[in-house]
Amino acid sequence: MARTTARKREKPKAGAAVTAEQCRSWLRQMLVIRHFEEKAGEAYTLGKIGGFLHLYIGQEAVAVGCMAALRDDDYITVSYRDHGHALARGMTPRAVMAELFGKAAGGSGGKGGSMHLFDAERRLLGGHGIVGGHIPIAAGIAFACKYRKTDQVSVCLFGEAAVNIGSFHESLNMASLWKLPAVFVVENNGYGMGTALARASAIMDISHRAYSYAMETEVVDGQDMRAVKDAMDRAVERARRGVGPSLLEARTYRYVGHSMSDAAHGTYRTKEEVEEYRQRDPIGVLHAYMKTEGYITDEEFTALDAEVVAEIDDAIAFADSAPDPDPSALYTDVYAEPA
Amino acid sequence: MARTTARKREKPKAGAAVTAEQCRSWLRQMLVIRHFEEKAGEAYTLGKIGGFLHLYIGQEAVAVGCMAALRDDDYITVSYRDHGHALARGMTPRAVMAELFGKAAGGSGGKGGSMHLFDAERRLLGGHGIVGGHIPIAAGIAFACKYRKTDQVSVCLFGEAAVNIGSFHESLNMASLWKLPAVFVVENNGYGMGTALARASAIMDISHRAYSYAMETEVVDGQDMRAVKDAMDRAVERARRGVGPSLLEARTYRYVGHSMSDAAHGTYRTKEEVEEYRQRDPIGVLHAYMKTEGYITDEEFTALDAEVVAEIDDAIAFADSAPDPDPSALYTDVYAEPA
Amino acid sequence: MQTLTYRDALNQALREEMQRDDRVFLMGEEVAEYDGAYKVSRGLLKEFGPMRVVDTPIAELGFAGVGVGAAMVGLRPVIEMMTFNFALLAIDQIVNSAAKMRYMSGGQVGVPIVFRGPGGAALQLAAQHSQAFESWYAHIPGLKVVMPGTPADAKGLLKSAIRDDDPVVFIEGEMLYNLKGDVPDGDYTIPIGVADIKRAGDDVTLVCHSKTVGVALKAAEQLAEESISAEVIDLRTIRPMDTETVLRSVVKTNRCVVVEEGWPFAGVGAQVVDTVQREAFDHLDAPLLRVTGADVPMPYNKALERAAKADPSQVVAAVKTVLYRE
Amino acid sequence: MQTLTYRDALNQALREEMQRDDRVFLMGEEVAEYDGAYKVSRGLLKEFGPMRVVDTPIAELGFAGVGVGAAMVGLRPVIEMMTFNFALLAIDQIVNSAAKMRYMSGGQVGVPIVFRGPGGAALQLAAQHSQAFESWYAHIPGLKVVMPGTPADAKGLLKSAIRDDDPVVFIEGEMLYNLKGDVPDGDYTIPIGVADIKRAGDDVTLVCHSKTVGVALKAAEQLAEESISAEVIDLRTIRPMDTETVLRSVVKTNRCVVVEEGWPFAGVGAQVVDTVQREAFDHLDAPLLRVTGADVPMPYNKALERAAKADPSQVVAAVKTVLYRE
Ligand SMILES: Cc1ncc(C[n+]2csc(CCOP(=O)(O)OP(=O)(O)O)c2C)c(N)n1
Ligand SMILES: Cc1ncc(C[n+]2csc(CCOP(=O)(O)OP(=O)(O)O)c2C)c(N)n1
Ligand SMILES: [Mg+2]
Ligand SMILES: [Mg+2]
């Protein structure tokens, strides 16, 4: 691949000191995502959820690490693999599960489903199904922040397979040209459906694509939530200061298939590979750190886990018993209601 | 802009020795293009030519230098600014001028016009009006050459403003990923219509975009026809050998407006800038070299120039008196004739 | 009343809306320093500065998406497509993002954006630069499609489009930019979804929009000389379509000819025919006929291009057919 | 005769054409090592190798253009769109390059290419993944549009499409892939541009294509129970459309209902209506009616989605209306 030297990076500040409280909430978020996704997978096999279901199991540290670096008034856009981000951003498991069940109580009233999670209040603006489709949208949100002279930041997360599509190129060029307050996060889980990165991209070092746009870039261990947060802190700060956008590459892995119709390890990867990655589980990594720091005892962990399991069970029960949208909903939200 | 170090280049071989005969024919080609374009501009103002007319004056060395490096069985695709390439590839001034006049004797029977010059026999496959539209097409032609295991090469020429559009990114990635026998030539004349490169691209060194695709790249003086040919020789040879595609950036300049509806130097550039570039005229550069080498006397140059002027006058007369296509042509060539 | 060109009417609409609402901005290729490829944005950069009049790289998909994102958080982008031929590159953002966001989000996120620029053929621009896509956009729920045919309609409708809370595809005519016409003074709007009777008549209804308004009016004049009275209805908005106005006319004339610039298959006219024959079946004394552009890519040659375009003589001939005259 | 699924019929057509003509190759996302997102290309990589069954990056515009370029120099690319929803990103290459090359070049350069993949809705895939664009492609001169509704038609028509010298947009149905049906043995083709009477009848003509063939046939059965005899015409090819077959039927039944999956405005059915009312005006005893998908982005919720889709009960109701029964 191209021999390019990395653009001189700002010296990573030693990870901002984190408290036991923070770690506990991050650990909890990751557990929520993990249990949520496992239950969602079950519900899908039971026919309670339809369409495409893309689980986030294995990548939890990326969503949690990113959200941990953001303010409430920052904006987030993400692909169809969006449950983890929605939960980490604060959407309740009930609201997300109800949307997956297609119920009126769902975040999008049951009209969007798994791929299109929105929470305007929390500034989570989708949940987008077209690969690369939300990258220019995120640039546009950043444009609006600059236009209004606020110091808000627009964060856009997408998979590594999206870096080969035109909208990635056009959007990053404009974002850098106009110094927009955006952070583009590539969740590099190694595969786009059944296609390994090496079979789709002429270079393996995705972060180097940033040099085509004179953009700051960093590669970060996507299984280490705190590392993700630290890198995000730097990128978000650059964006807030008006220095410009950044491209972050988080190296991660999905334990499960691309979607429910895809085997955990199809022909495109081995059982061994999946097992190997499971060894550096994002929850395990943070849990281990917390133990060494004395932030959590085994009893506390067991209790926390049980508490989360109960919350997800409740979300399932809620979603299952929640009513369908009214038939009239078919024709609403196509256009704004005449004022 | 991004501090990236150039990928180690193959040491440019000293320009392959050229003969007086070769230089004379290249000089003649450039004179043909120059006079053709000047006459075409006149014909446009007289209403003999309609639609958009994009002249190539000032960039002659790029087309002539590129074609000089190609075999008859290589393929060429180019943008709407295509007269120079068609003439350098061997299309007669009559055939090109007749097309501009919309006559049946034109290369495309008067149905394509200035922006869509095709000569299947000479493997000139357009003449494309959508910026970036022919870049994947050129990659596809290269794919076909590889598919058939021929050692033909597909050369694609486009303006510098096209490097910011998605198809450029998608095509170069695939071309490099699949090691296709293609050469992508950016004719960097500094402006896309009224937009200077710096206002459209986050980096000024277009050649650096090649690193995103692990692609060989070179920057060449686009006003020096022999330099263009030398760089092309290297790129074409890499493609023929199956080493892979290259991205060439030829730094050049258009003396005239973007199209006939645009002033020679609009608000976007100064008269002085245009004048300055005219000092390194591509015809003058080659002519000067030939004089120092004793390849041409002033008398010979005057005679050659007069001969070319006469040829272009003949092309104008031919095009002017040639018949329009038959009205039935409106409905032919939409689909293949039923065999 | 003032007399303005279609171009200047659009320019006034943009200027007045940008003065009225600082959420409104214009973005596209050459819109700022170049004053617009067709000078529709002349003077706006000078008045509003580079943050509100923004030149873009050649990246239709990208800057269309930038507009969608900005609209999702409350700005009012006007995205200029240098021509709608190039909007094919941006159509994923128009159809998959702009048109669906409100629905996918369960009503949480709307996209108040205008995609505008010239559509259809100009003169001898050949196949890739001479296409009319209004029936494509009108096919899509979530989009509104507006196509003014006069300076007054252009100004009033562009203002309504910019104030609209949903994505509007606003297609102008390159051949119309120099068209002069009376334009009301001051601030006024023309509602989206309301057709306009450009000429009253009793014998036949001519339905048209954008450039074909002129074609239909010319045909109506020629028909008048043969004492055939044609009513000319300018749809002005393609989606939502004002079927009431069309039906009211056809119920009166019992005959209808639909004129459009675009290709015949599943064009806007096909939808007009579908609606009218369904809603006014018993009032029709003849089948509805359509006059459209020739069903071919546009040729460069001047004579061939002229033959490919819908013209008054074809309309006159169609009218005589539905009137069973010769 | 063999009994095959629609999926396997397509797979056979691809395999046989690739065996017959080494200029034919298949390119798209996941077509090779993954055997196709919907397994239509199962086994082809193994048989033909990576140069003829090519996985691509996610770059629809790019690999569609690669196909166009390869076709321009004589190969016979079959470009798989994982679904036609994503083809919106490639539509510039389909419309501005593939459809116009022959014309722009004055007949010098043709583009023998097939763009194929599933179109329309499947189950609960929501707004961005549930769209039917056939009327868009059929609007474009230079393209042919083919949409088989049965395994036998799928195989015979795909072979014709691959052998065709012009660009063919070949739209399959994700919901049809598991449909079983009789398929003739050996090599056969079905000509492009010829409709098929799937069920003969006298009282009303039902025009349909692709997935709605099943809808129309179900409706016809239900109508038969009320001794209403419906003739079901499967267009099979949308462009060029076999209007003769449709007209012959309507002249006999004097009534017509057009059924399609897509949105109503300027859909394929609008063109059928336009043609029939013009060519068979005096034979019509009632207006032509259409049954289409609801004019909304597709909702995710199962019940709402069901309500958004054209179904037999709507067809039955439309038929009773044109028959003036209750
Ligand atoms: C433009 C487009 N093409 C194809 C698809 C089908 N598709 C859905 S997800 C996917 C793979 C994306 O992989 P990646 O970007 O790495 O994200 P991941 O699924 O790994 O999170 C593909 C090809 C799509 N949704 N959009
Ligand atoms: C996709 C697309 N967008 C916009 C245009 C209008 N347009 C034609 S030429 C041009 C500028 C191109 O500049 P460059 O690529 O540098 O080529 P040059 O004209 O300098 O040779 C533009 C914007 C187009 N033809 N295609
Ligand atoms: Mg991935
Ligand atoms: Mg340029």
Q: How far apart are CA B207 and CA B253, in angstroms?
A: 17
**Which residues 6+ apart lie within 8 Å of B41 measured at CB?**
B53, B55, B256, B260
Q: Do B136 and D107 touch (CB under 8 A)?
A: no
pLDDT tens for each residue of D161-186: 999 999 999 999 999 999 999 999 99
pLDDT tens for each residue of A139-184: 999 999 999 999 999 999 999 999 999 999 999 999 999 999 999 9
Q: Do B129 and C62 touch (CB under 8 A)?
A: no
Q: Do B211 and A168 touch (CB under 8 A)?
A: no
Residue D125 · residue D298 · CB < 8 Å: yes
pLDDT score of A8: 40
D326 is catalytic: no
Over residues B91-110, the mean pLDDT reads: 98
Cα–Cα distance list, B235 to A229, B137, B169 (Å): 44, 19, 19
- The token duo for C196 is 């306009």
Q: Whose CA is nearest to atom 21 of ligand 1?
A: A159
Q: How far apart are CA B188 and CA D131, in angstroms?
A: 41
Per-residue H/E/C for B51-118 = CCCCCCCCCHHHHHHHHHCCCCCCEEEEECCCHHHHHHCCCCHHHHHHHHCCCCCCCCCCCCCCCCCE
The Cβ of residue B241 has, within 10 Å, a number of other Cβ atoms equal to: 10
Is residue A14 predicted with pLDDT exceeding 70?
A: no
pLDDT score of B13: 47
Ligand nearest to the CA of B158: 2
Quickly state the pLDDT bin for B17 (edges 50, 70, 90): confident
Q: Which atom of ligand 2 is closest in space to residue D92's alpha carbon?
A: 1
pLDDT score of B182: 99
Quickly state the pLDDT bin for B338 (edges 50, 70, 90): confident
Q: Assess D239–C contact: CB distance below 8 Å, yes or no.
A: yes
pLDDT tens for each residue of C58-98: 999 999 999 999 999 999 999 999 999 999 999 999 999 99
Q: Whose CA is nearest to atom 14 of ligand 1?
A: A159
pLDDT score of B225: 98
Return phi, psi of residue D66, to 5°: -60, -40
**At what angle are helices A298-321 and A93-100 packed, to 10 degrees?**
40
Q: Assess A148–B contact: CB distance below 8 Å, yes or no.
A: no
Q: How far apart are CA C39 and CA C146, in angstroms?
A: 20
Interface test with B, best of A130, A160, A169 (most B CBs within 10 A): A169
Q: How far apart are CA D31 and CA C15, in angstroms?
A: 51
Cα(A164) to centroid of ligand 1, in Å? 11
The Cβ of residue C70 has, within 10 Å, a number of other Cβ atoms equal to: 29
Q: Is A234 exposed, middle or buried (0-12, 13-18, 19+ CB in 10 A)?
A: buried
pLDDT score of B38: 98
**Residue from A131, A11, A32 nearest A78 by CA:** A131
Cα(C43) to centroid of ligand 2, in Å? 23
Q: Assess B140–D contact: CB distance below 8 Å, yes or no.
A: yes
Is residue C222 predicted with pLDDT exceeding 70?
A: yes
Quickly state the pLDDT bin for B45 (edges 50, 70, 90): very high
Q: How far apart are CA D105 and CA B95, in angstroms?
A: 13
pLDDT score of A264: 80
pLDDT tens for each residue of D210-234: 999 999 999 999 999 999 999 999 9
Mean pLDDT of chain C: 98
Q: Which residues pair with D4 in a beta bridge?
A: D181
pLDDT score of B7: 42
Contacts with D278 from chain C: Cβ below 8 Å: 273, 287-289
Q: Do B177 and D57 touch (CB under 8 A)?
A: yes
Quickly state the pLDDT bin for C233 (edges 50, 70, 90): very high
Range with the lowest mean pLDDT among A258-262, A289-293, D231-235? A258-262
* 3-state secondary structure (DSSP) of residue C204: strand
Over residues B62-72, the mean pLDDT reads: 98
Quickly state the pLDDT bin for B5 (edges 50, 70, 90): very low
Is residue A310 predicted with pLDDT exceeding 60?
A: yes
Interface test with D, best of B96, B143, B168 (most D CBs within 10 A): B143
Contacts with D63 from chain B: Cβ below 8 Å: 136, 170, 174
* 3-state secondary structure (DSSP) of residue D91: helix
Residue D53 · residue D31 · CB < 8 Å: yes
pLDDT score of B339: 64
pLDDT score of D148: 98
**Residue from C132, C273, C139 nearest C205 by CA:** C273
Residue D152 · residue D182 · CB < 8 Å: yes
State the pairing for strand pair C144-146/C76-80. unpaired
pTM of the model: 0.97
- The token duo for A76 is 């987030």
pLDDT tens for each residue of D251-288: 999 999 999 999 999 999 999 999 999 999 999 999 99
**Pocket lined around ligand 1, Cβ cut-off 6 Å:** A 81, 129-131, 158-162, 189, 191-193, 258; D 29, 58, 60, 82, 86, 89
Is residue C264 predicted with pLDDT exceeding 80?
A: yes
Q: Is C189 exposed, middle or buried (0-12, 13-18, 19+ CB in 10 A)?
A: middle
Q: How far apart are CA A96 and CA A115, in angstroms?
A: 11
**Which residues 6+ apart lie within 8 Å of B166 measured at CB?**
A165, A166, A167, A169, A170, B132, C59, C61, C62, C89, D61, D62
Contacts with D91 from chain A: Cβ below 8 Å: none
Contact partners for chain B, using 3 or more CB pairs closer than 8 A, are A, C, D
- Candidates D16, D17, D29, D60; catalytic one: D60
Check: complex ipTM more than 0.95: yes
**Residue from C83, C168, C80, C178 nearest C121 by CA:** C83
Q: How far apart are CA B195 and CA B205, in angstroms?
A: 16
Quickly state the pLDDT bin for B16 (edges 50, 70, 90): low
- The token duo for D241 is 């459309």
- The token duo for B302 is 């005057």
Q: Do C307 and B52 touch (CB under 8 A)?
A: no
**Residue from C235, C226, C227, C225 nearest C256 by CA:** C235
Q: Is the peptide bond before C287 cis (omega within 30 degrees of 0)?
A: no
Quickly state the pLDDT bin for A15 (edges 50, 70, 90): low
Q: How far apart are CA A82 and CA C11, in angstroms?
A: 42
Is residue B266 predicted with pLDDT exceeding 90?
A: no
Could you give the strand order of the β-sheet that contains C114-119, starting from the edge strand earlier in sequence?
C53-55, C24-28, C76-80, C114-119, C168-173, C144-146, C237-239
Quickly state the pLDDT bin for D204 (edges 50, 70, 90): very high
Q: How far apart are CA A197 and CA A20, in angstroms?
A: 37
Ligand nearest to the CA of C61: 2
C97 secondary structure, DSSP code: I
Over residues B159-183, the mean pLDDT reads: 98
Q: Assess D290–C contact: CB distance below 8 Å, yes or no.
A: yes
pLDDT tens for each residue of C301-321: 999 999 999 999 999 999 999
Q: Assess A79–C contact: CB distance below 8 Å, yes or no.
A: no
Please give the positions of C annotated as active site: 60, 129
Is residue C21 predicted with pLDDT exceeding 90?
A: yes
Mean pLDDT of chain B: 94
pLDDT score of B265: 78
CA neighbours closer than 13 Å in the CB half-sphere of residue B32 = 25
End-to-end CA distance of chain B: 57
pLDDT score of B3: 34
